[in-house]
Amino acid sequence: MFVLPENQKQQLNPLFSRDLPSRVILWAYLQSRVPGITYVDDPSNPTFCVVVLEFHHISFVGWTTDPFDLAGAITEVLVEEQYLDIVWEESFPFPKPALKFSDSFKRLEFFQLNEKVFQETKRSAIGKGIPSPVDSSNFDWCESKSEHLLAFEIKENFLRNSFGILLTEEGKYVCDASAIFIGDGENSRYGDIQIVTRKEYRRQGYGLKVAGLLIEEMRARGISPVWSCHKDNVASEGIAKRLGFEEGREFEMLCIDARPPFLKYWEKIMDQWGVTYESKDAAVAFLRSEYQLPRQVAHWLVMAYINVKSRA
């Protein structure tokens, strides 16, 4: 497998189904809104590929030829990437690759919004919290900040390629929602919604209000809203349905963790230390001082740890 140069990503469009699960984030990558890397069989004329996004290492398989050695291709990619979360659907025209998966889980995705239900829910949420657009002055308030930084690396990239709304109550942060991934489909522009509510404010209607405001803003910008969540995330699915999202589509994520044992050793150390994205610089300094690791090695270990942990 070869790494495809960034300026040749347009060659990948024919390799993906128009109805691929989680396609909004894939479109965002293909349209250079979020970072990632693509491995192909032939850079001059690819017939299959594996796209790996920096965000949780979400990965997509694309093809024009069938059959092909999917297991072999993924094994080659794992040499460089260490772990993958592969978007999978049973309708794919080939079986799951014969590999040992460390985990798998189901996700739901909603594209259809019932307008009558949405308007009724929006009216019922009036008066809860004070909304503000997410900008450089309040970005650090957002509890979704870690996810935004994983997706976009720096807040300036998030503000350039995405947008969001946060709610406050008596000057305190309550929740935020964002169109975290925006991608242009064949006939429309879509945005994948992300919402986070501080624990003490949950189940009080704030999430419904901020999501409703975000959906209105998305529509004003010509963006169709998309809601996705883990199948076992009952709260998120409940908010989606109360907003009017219906006919959810189920698909699977196949997780492969091929990290060598020494990385598991460092993972235990960082578990004990409680490393988060916000504390990454301190964690790098700790590893350098306590274990005499080179800066680049310490930084790589910390970011790999954060990325794996935030998938859960």
Give the chain's mean pLDDT: 88
pLDDT at residue 277, rounded to an integer? 72
pLDDT at residue 299, rounded to an integer? 81
Amino acid identity, residue 251?
A: F
pLDDT 10s digits, 72-91:
888 899 888 878 999 998 87
Class of domain 2-106: alpha beta
pLDDT at residue 310, rounded to an integer? 60
pLDDT 10s digits, 120-154:
998 887 777 899 999 999 999 998 888 898 899 89
How much of the chain exceeds pLDDT 90, in percent?
56
Residue pointed to by tokens 């490393």: 275
**Planar angle of CA 66, 71, 77, nearest 5 degrees:** 110
Return the number of other C-beta atoms located less than 10 Å from residue 15's C-beta.
19
pLDDT at residue 49, rounded to an integer? 93
Spatial neighbors of 34 by CB under 8 A, at least 6 apart, are 25, 28, 53, 54, 55, 151, 152, 161, 181
Q: Is the pLDDT score of 66 beyond 70? A: no
Q: Is the pLDDT score of 4 beyond 80? A: yes
Q: Is the pLDDT score of 311 beyond 70? A: no
pLDDT at residue 262, rounded to an integer? 65
pLDDT at residue 212, rounded to an integer? 95
65 — pLDDT class (breaks 50, 70, 90): confident
Q: Is the pLDDT score of 42 beyond 90? A: yes
Tell whether the torsion through CA atoms of 225, 236, 170 and 147 is positive or negative.
Answer: negative
Q: Is the pLDDT score of 308 beyond 80? A: no
Structure-token pair, residue 214: 């975000």
Spatial neighbors of 258 by CB under 8 A, at least 6 apart, are 78, 82, 83
233 — pLDDT class (breaks 50, 70, 90): very high
Structure-token pair, residue 42: 């032939």
Q: Is the pLDDT score of 102 beyond 80? A: no
Which is nearest to 85 in space by CA: 66, 68, 105? 105
18 — pLDDT class (breaks 50, 70, 90): confident
Residues 279, 269: Cα–Cα separation, whole Å: 14
Which is nearest to 175 in space by CA: 148, 205, 195? 195
309 — pLDDT class (breaks 50, 70, 90): low
Strand residue runs (E) in 206-275: 223-230, 245-246, 249-257
Residues 92, 20: Cα–Cα separation, whole Å: 9
What mean pLDDT comes out for the span 262-282? Answer: 76
pLDDT at residue 263, rounded to an integer? 66
Q: Where are the domains of the chain?
A: 2-106, 109-251, 260-309
* Cα dihedral value 193, 198, 204, 210, nearest 10: -30
Residues 216, 224: Cα–Cα separation, whole Å: 10
Structure-token pair, residue 140: 């650090």
Domain 109-251 has CATH 3.40.630.30: yes
pLDDT 10s digits, 201-228:
988 889 999 999 999 999 999 999 999 9
